[in-house]
Amino acid sequence: MRTGPFTFRGGIHPPDSKERSKDRPIVAAKIPARVVVPLLQHIGAPCAAAVTVGQALNKGDFVGTSGGFISAPVHSPVSGKVTGLVHVPHPSGMKVPAVSIENDFAETWKDLRDEPECSGLSRDDVVGRVHDAGIVGMGGAAFPAHVKLSPSHGFAIDTLIINGVECEPYLTADHRLMLEKPFDIAEGAKLIMKVLGVSRCMIGIESNKPDAVAVMKEACGNGTGVTVHAVKIKYPQGAEKMLIKALVNREVPLRGLPMAAGVVVHNVATAAAVYNAVRYGRPLIERVVTVTGDAIREPKNLLVRIGSTVADAIEECGGFSREPGKIIMGGPLMGFALPSMDMPVTKGTSGIVALSKETVLHNDEFGPCIKCGRCIDVCPMGLVPSVLGVLAEKGFYEEAKAYRVHDCFECGSCTYVCPSKRPIVQFVKLAKSLVKP
């Protein structure tokens, strides 16, 4: 049992900047006349197109089928007609295959498998429904959810953790979801517990969200095995390994999965999606996205159809109040700066943050490492980011392996505290992309 509070070493305390959107209820965004649905919205193998140009679709029909076990199918978020099989830019910088769909605005659903007594379904039925619904980790990692529900032999899982921390600055989508859909999250957690065969589920929420803590405690009830815990306010508290340390005081082995520590972690939005897939048969075709930043006229938490563009979401918020200096998909510490607003919203898009030119530092100059050690103090993985940054800057990518470059999960804490403004996390990303683990 937890006897904490526990926490992890390192971490930072950036301004949370959540005041713009945290009190804004979730509202449904206007459905666009055209959506472009990427066939790669998850970690793992991309989907194969399951449609042809000119084909009529109902909302929820398959448009892409899984390309392997670590993959997840993709569905049409609208009813309409396929107008093209195209390639679109992805936040990773690649272009990925996608399906362009013209919306007929009829909103005609495919036949859904409603299951009022979903708690009585077998484990295989639940996992099958989760897979068929195309559910992935909605905290940003986009790992196929059905894989986490099928732990490898040899892992003794005894605890489910539901992640409601949302420690990234600006983002409030999970916070609003906990306030407005606590029953869906709680019921999704209970279904996942049944599949994993565990009797303990711990929901972690940062202590600066007392309203969410209270609502979730009420929704979970007593005697269910589901407990709610307020955890320390510290970034990156929402990272899987950090939250496991905070809640159960276990260390995930280096390069290992949470399963190796007897734990499975799912995001609150993922738990809600699991409930809606198993109970109502609804595939993952929309998600809550925080659209915020000091360049957004009216920040909102929007329920957005997958395949809508960033431009669509920003327009829904009244457009820009001032000229943006940077538009980020995700949060400012782990998100991706976008080269274009034509980028489609995906299953892993938790936020769109538009920062004004006054807020963004446009100084591309950075100084040499002064060996102050601040990056070492804050690194939650116990790495030496200063050395990793220098090695990558000089092109010594193979040498960076000796300093565990692949153990970095790119939280950006090192870059945040560096007095020389060195882009350490960007150097690390470069090295990781060029060196095999």
- The domain limits of the chain are 26-112+283-356, 118-280, 374-434
SS3 206: strand
Q: How far apart are the first and last CA of the chain?
A: 35
Question: What pLDDT, in 10s, does the model give residues 204-222?
Answer: 999 999 999 999 999 999 9
Q: What is the pLDDT of residues 238-294, one digit of tens each?
A: 999 999 999 999 999 888 889 999 999 999 999 999 999 999 999 999 999 999 999
Class of domain 118-280: alpha beta
Rounded CA separation 305/105 (Å): 13
Handedness of CA 134, 137, 143, 144 (dihedral sign): negative
pLDDT-derived band of residue 141, with 50, 70 and 90 as boundaries? confident
**What is the SS3 string spanning 264-284?**
EEEEHHHHHHHHHHHHHCCCC
Cβ neighbours around 67 below 10 Å, total: 16
pLDDT surpassing 90 at residue 151? no
Residue 296, CA distances (Å) to 21, 133, 139, 225, 309 in order = 11, 33, 22, 42, 16
**75-113: b or e for each residue (b if 16 or more CB lie within 10 Å)?**
bbbbbbebeeeeebbbbeeeebbbbbbebeeeeeeeeee
Note the pLDDT of residue 69. Answer: 81
State whether residue 103 is helix, strand or coil. strand
Cβ-proximal residues to 356 (8 Å cutoff; 6+ apart), any chain: 293, 294, 295, 322, 323, 324, 325
pLDDT at 307: 97
**Cα–Cα dist 326/29, whole Å:** 23
Query: Could you give the CA distance from residue 388 to residue 400 in angstroms, rounded to a whole number?
Result: 6
CATH code of domain 26-112+283-356: 3.10.20.600
From 33-42, 134-143, 372-381, 424-433, the region with the lowest mean pLDDT = 134-143
Element (H, E) at 81: strand 80-89
3-class SS of residue 28: strand
**Among residues of the chain, what percentage have pLDDT more than 70?**
98
> What band does 343 get if pLDDT is binned at 50, 70 and 90?
very high
Evaluate if residue 166 carries a pLDDT over 90: yes
Q: Where do we find the tokens 């300093």?
A: 403
Q: Are 162 and 185 in contact (CB under 8 A)?
A: yes
Nearest to 162 by CA among 147, 180, 178: 178
